[in-house]
Structure 1
Amino acid sequence: MRNLVQGLLLTAILVIFWINTPWVALAQEECEDIISCFMAPDFCGMTLDTCPASSAREMREEICRMVEQGMSKDEIIAHYVNLYGTQILAAPPKEGFFLTAWLTPVVILILGTLLLLVVLKNRKAALSPAGNNGVTLPEEELYEDVLQDELKKYI
């Protein structure tokens, strides 16, 4: 009886140390990192890490088993891309046709900024002193002199 209690106690201590070892935490982190790369297999529009469906749970468990078996992130991603196609990926790959999905927003932002600068420059040119309702610069100086004379009278 005493040996049984000691054996159970030793087993409990080993399990506690095994759970708290860093390599278990690293495997769990790697598993979560890989899971975040995928969409749910039922294509409900949710990522795999947030989907509550049973098919998503099964896929998460399968990915963790693959990590435990020593498969790399790239191998696991390639496996699921071969199985479901590229639509299983949460973000499109940064190669080939899918590169446009990454570059289009940047190009649109740059073109929009350039268009805004051109519009503002043209607007500023339209509001410049030369376009002040036909009042020429010498006339403005004359009015400025008259204004200064009037102000001197009252100050």
Structure 2
Amino acid sequence: MKKFMVALLVLLVAVQWPFVRTEARQIDYKSPEFRAVASQFACTCGCGQDHFECDPNTCNLTKEFKKDLSDMMGKGMNKDQIRDYYVKIYGEEILTAPEKSGFSLAAWILPFAVLAAAAVGIFFIIRKWVKKKRDIETLSEPSGDEDGVESEILSSIIDEERKKYL
């Protein structure tokens, strides 16, 4: 009979356990836990900040958002669950940082890669122009031997012309 009572008590607790109501805990808006959750979402008021940094005195959107985050955290939802919830509603645009996979990562990295490739291309083009200019300058400058020969020819022509008229 004693075993039956213990089994009945265990069964009763197991059945009642999901229906036991737990009080939601209060979350401090300045806590590191709240900061980690709120800073992953961009505020949509146009301030360009995340919801942790956005000023609740001037933005009604962040007041409501922070209240919702606090309620979710009080119910026991973790950072990833809250993130997934809001990404399902608003899409990835609400995130302050892209997902670390797929097209999102490519969309954030590709502009920087294109800029780097353009900078390298411009560097090589300018280098080629400078080298071409140096080559042209060295071709137009006579060397020491040629300069002497030309000056000799010119001086002999000048001497001949002087002899004709003087």
Secondary structure of 2:31 counterpart: helix
2:103 to 74, 84, 97: 97
Secondary structure of 1:90 counterpart: coil
1:69 aligns with 2:70: no
Name the Cα RMSD after superposition.
3.0
Unaligned runs of 5+ in 2: 1-26, 149-166
Change (3 A) 1:53 1:106: same
Change (3 A) 1:141 1:37: farther
- Given that 1:92 and 1:98 are in contact with CA atoms closer than 8 Å, whether structure 2 keeps it comes out as yes
What amino acid maps onto 2:45 in structure 1?
A: C
Partner of residue 45, structure 1: 46
Give the drift of 1:82.
Answer: 1.4
Give the drift of 1:58.
Answer: 1.6
- Given that 1:48 and 1:56 are in contact with CA atoms closer than 8 Å, whether structure 2 keeps it comes out as yes
What amino acid maps onto 2:36 in structure 1?
A: D
Partner of residue 123, structure 2: 117
Partner of residue 88, structure 1: 94
What fraction of aligned residue pairs are identical, expressed as a percent?
25
Give the drift of 1:89.
Answer: 1.6
Aligned length: 116
Name which one, 1 or 2, has greater alpha-carbon Rg: 2
Which string of whole-angstrom CA distances, capped at 9 and with x for unpartnered residues, describes residues 71-109 of structure 1?
221111001111222222223323222122221132123
Secondary structure of 2:106 counterpart: helix
TM-score (norm 2): 0.57
Secondary structure of 2:140 counterpart: coil
Unaligned runs of 5+ in 1: 1-23, 143-155
Which string of whole-angstrom CA distances, capped at 9 and with x for unpartnered residues, describes residues 27-74 of structure 1?
81121122111123xx32233231533232121122123233332211
Partner of residue 152, structure 2: none
